[in-house]
Amino acid sequence: MQVIDDLIQKFLKELNYQPILEMLLHVKSGKKLRSKLLLAISGESKEAISICATIELIHLASLLHDDIIDESELRRGVKSVNSEFGTKNALMLGDILYSKAFYELSQMNTQFANIISDAVVKLSIGELMDVNLSQDFNTDKDKYLSMIYNKTAVLIEASARCGAILAGLDEKSFGEYGKNLGLAFQMIDDILDIKGDEKTLGKPSMADFKEGKVTLPYIYLFESLDEEGKKQLKSMFKKDLNEQEKIWINTQFKEKEILEKSILEVKEYAKRAIDAIEEYSNQKLKDIVKAMIDRNF
């Protein structure tokens, strides 16, 4: 992962504008799931590292724009770039990272460039879907799944497909693995938004609901409530919840075993991911799934 970070730094130093590096120093590095996944399939090579660095640039750019859209003040426990440096700087930094990533894509084999650039288009559509869904209280699970596929899973799917091509393996099977892993990954993030504490999350709990995101647990909760309960839940949508309102929601989640139901769905997508590549006996990929779902929610 350090080699990938060093290459990202090299890419950005080539732009010869110090404020870019200064703002990025403020960004706390993530776990690089997409890079770990690609390398677990392809093994390490100069081409694989270059693809990983480009994908990480794209992912970082999407997070910058996501924080602007959500007006998030925190990212992984520290002030977001838009909060620290202002929305205009965060927006332009995201654009710079996207642009530099596409320049690097233009230097690659067209097969990889096509896969990744297509994923970026879908990712951007996913962001727009998220914005549009947040306008009203969405109860359509299919719309939620379509949104998280585009917003989160497509770039993970693209990483797996690129890794498979590099290794001479079946692109479709590994793409299916990446897609289902990505869906499970986002669902877990949505569950943790409810279950986690602010110290763990790096942001207040139930922040998603305040931002207008009706995630899978809320969709299942809405379906389980009577008319009065549905009305009450809707009245809390996009509100800064007080302690009593949070207690009511958490009580409903517990009584109706909503989070348990949501976790079962996560495990189903995780199983689909592993089943897609079962014939390859890749323990690293199984461990990535296992590490994701074997936790205390």
The tally of CA atoms less than 13 A away on the side-chain side of residue 273 is: 31
Q: Domain extents for the chain?
A: 2-293
Please state the φ and ψ torsions of residue 143, each to the nearest 5 degrees: -65, -40
The band of 199, judged by pLDDT with boundaries at 50, 70 and 90, is low
Average pLDDT over residues 148-176: 98
Choose which CATH entry (3.90.800.10, 1.10.600.10, 2.40.50.140, 1.20.1530.20) describes domain 2-293.
1.10.600.10
- Rounded Cα distance between 58 and 102, Å, is 9
- Rounded Cα distance between 288 and 276, Å, is 14
Give the pLDDT confidence score for residue 296 in this predicted structure: 66
Three-state SS across 170-218?
CHHHHHHHHHHHHHHHHHHHHHHHHHCCHHHHCCCCCHHHHCCCCCHHH
Signed CA dihedral, 69, 70, 75, 78: sign only: positive
Token pair of 277 as six digits: 């590549």
pLDDT in tens, 232-290: 999 999 999 999 999 999 999 999 999 999 999 999 999 999 999 999 999 999 999 99
3-state secondary structure of 121: helix
Of the chain, the end-to-end C-alpha distance in Å amounts to 27
pLDDT in tens, 177-192: 999 999 999 999 999 9
Average pLDDT over residues 102-108: 97
| Paired strand residues for 74 | 79
Torsion of Cα atoms, 16 then 2 then 154 then 184, to 10°: -140
Which helix (H) or strand (E) segment holds residue 248: the answer is helix 243-255
Which helix (H) or strand (E) segment holds residue 78: the answer is strand 78-79
- Rounded Cα distance between 200 and 237, Å, is 23
pLDDT in tens, 30-60: 889 999 999 999 999 999 999 999 999 999 9
